[in-house]
Amino acid sequence: MLPSIVLVIVDGMGPATMEAARIVEYGNSNSSVINYFDAVRPVSTQNVDNNLTDSAAGGTAISTGHRTNNYKLGIDENNVPLQNIIEYLRVNHPEYVTGVIAKVYAGHATPASFLTHTGDRNSIEAIYQSILDYSKADLIIGSGYYNLKPFEEKFKKQGYNTIIPSHFNVEKNVFQNTKLPMIAAMNDKKNIPFFMDEPQSTLINITKQAIKVLNETGPFFLMVECSLVDGGGHYNNATMLVGDMIEADILLRELIEMKDVKTIVIADHETGGVTITGDLKGLENIPLPREANGSEAHKIRQKRIDQLGIKFSTTQHSNSYVTFGAHGFGPVSWVKTTSDVRRFINLYLDGVEPTPYDGCVKNEAENIFKNRFYYKPAEEKEKMNKTGKVVVGITIGIASVLGAVGIVWFVYMIIKRSKKGKFVQMKTDNERIQVATVE
């Protein structure tokens, strides 16, 4: 049986970011969950020009196995479209369902590199149109409803069930109660809140819901982007950076405990040039976050983050190596670049190298999901037939009763009319019924 695979991209994660999260969350008593993976490798992130990558080129390398220029999504340096992993699975393993989840909107660089083929990561309209034109993902969850809204009716016309902020605000478990395919924008903002700004992780909650939905159909591939480690690096904000790295670590711990789910973790690049310079002895008198819950745990995390003395050398990306981890696949020693992640998945599934120019899967018609295996038209037709039979039966029954009543009434009137000018008059003063003559 083919495995279900969750690919976690921790945008902006570097070695020092991982170490900071480990120190805050576990102290000296434990390790980052990545270090428990079967395969752990340092990998380079450079783009096709061997220059500092952005998230568009970094995401494209991971999703297609081909490095490209910055700002380009799902296309190579010559603007030729590249087949991404979701399209590969749709063609070669149609039994898979696929999904993309991010803390940012679906048209942002990393999620868009799994959904689109466009030349400019900043062209939001072109990106969402490209998702409509190409995407075969069965599940898409992000933020930024203002970006989705102009295209919402088009997605509905293709067959997507749409989830908008008002739905999510009313029911936090709306995803597990919505049928595939679905596209969701949870709020009107650019991103889901930073981990340290909410008592319980929204990202972990929706990922677990999504996996429950996807797992009902068989094997699945899901890309989850822990998007805001990158934001903490760009803002040079240690609380944002370390907090969202902790969230990623907690998510990974939950994933590796899931039966029949294989997990991969990677970053597209490091952000911030992070170093830890504080006197860590000051942590000895601060309890560990696991000794509390919710907001109290965050207060403890904040105290521990303040002790780290985190310094940033840049507000941009750096050329620091990042960490690749794979759990459930067995050991691997050959992964050296972000583009090798796609090679790793292909070789594991089929024993063949990815061929990015095999062609993209374009949407040729509306209702593209009607032929998906999780649609059950035979069952739906039978259900409709049963409903129709019940309705017809009730209608016939009512008609029969009305018909019988009508016949009785007709016979009754004929008998009464046999006496010319006579009718029965009901008196209400307790007198007996009398027959009155009408001239």
* Residue 93 assigned as binding residue: no
Indicate if 295 belongs to the active site. no
Q: Write b or e for each residue in 89-108: b if 16 or more Cβ atoms lie within 10 A of its Cβ, otherwise e.
A: bbeeeeebbbbbbbbbbbbb
pLDDT at residue 291, as a whole number: 81
Rg from Cα positions in the chain? 31
* Residue 230 assigned as binding residue: yes
Rounded to whole angstroms, how far apart are CA atoms 158 and 149? 15
Maximum Cα interatomic distance, the chain, rounded to a whole number of Å? 116
Alpha helices (runs of H) in 272-331, residue ranges in sequence order: 294-306
pLDDT at residue 419, as a whole number: 40
| Token duo for residue 395 | 């209608």
CA-based nearest residue to 169, from 140, 190, 153, 145:
145
* Residue 317 assigned as binding residue: no
pLDDT at residue 420, as a whole number: 38
* Residue 110 assigned as binding residue: yes
* Residue 108 assigned as binding residue: yes
* Residue 268 assigned as binding residue: yes
* Residue 298 assigned as binding residue: no
State the Cα torsion 349-350-352-356 to the nearest 10°.
-70
Q: Which of 55, 63, 113, 318 is catalytic?
A: 55
Beta-bridge partner residues of 324 = 41
pLDDT at residue 407, as a whole number: 58
DSSP 117: -
Q: Return the SS3 of 183.
A: strand
pLDDT at residue 384, as a whole number: 40
Q: Which long-range contacts (CB under 8 A, 24 or more apart) does 328-331 make?
A: 328/3, 328/38, 328/256, 328/261, 328/262, 328/263, 329/38, 329/39, 329/262, 329/264, 330/38, 330/39, 331/38, 331/39
CA-based nearest residue to 361, from 68, 86, 143, 32:
86
Rounded to whole angstroms, how far apart are CA atoms 160 and 181? 5
* Residue 225 assigned as binding residue: yes
Asked if 103 and 191 count as a contact pair (C-beta separation under 8 A), the reply is yes
Q: Return the SS3 of 295.
A: helix
pLDDT at residue 21, as a whole number: 97
Q: Write b or e for each residue in 214-233: b if 16 or more Cβ atoms lie within 10 A of its Cβ, otherwise e.
A: bbeeebbbbbbbbbbbbbbb
Q: Return the SS3 of 46.
A: coil
Q: Return the SS3 of 118.
A: strand
pLDDT at residue 365, as a whole number: 83
Q: Is the peptide bond before 289 cis (omega within 30 degrees of 0)?
A: no
pLDDT at residue 172, as a whole number: 85
Tokens 């010319």 belong to 420
- State which fold the 4-375 domain adopts: Alkaline Phosphatase, subunit A (3.40.720)
Exposed / middle / buried, residue 188 (Cβ in 10 Å: 0-12, 13-18, 19+): middle
- Would you write out the chain's pLDDT as a tens digit for each of its 439 residues? 789 999 999 999 999 999 999 999 999 877 889 988 999 999 999 999 999 999 999 999 999 999 999 999 999 999 999 999 999 999 999 999 999 999 999 999 999 999 999 999 999 999 999 999 998 999 999 999 999 999 999 999 999 999 999 999 999 889 989 999 999 999 999 999 999 999 999 999 999 999 999 999 989 999 999 999 999 999 999 999 999 999 999 999 999 999 899 999 999 999 999 999 998 998 989 999 988 888 999 999 999 999 999 999 999 999 999 999 999 999 899 999 999 999 999 999 999 999 999 999 998 888 899 889 887 654 444 444 444 444 445 545 555 555 555 555 554 554 444 443 332 233 333 333 233 333 3
H or E segment to which residue 208 belongs: helix 202-215
Bridge-based pairing state of the strands 270-271 and 274-276: unpaired
Write the CB contacts of 13 (distance below 8 Å, at least 6 apart in sequence): 226, 229, 245, 248, 267, 270, 322, 323
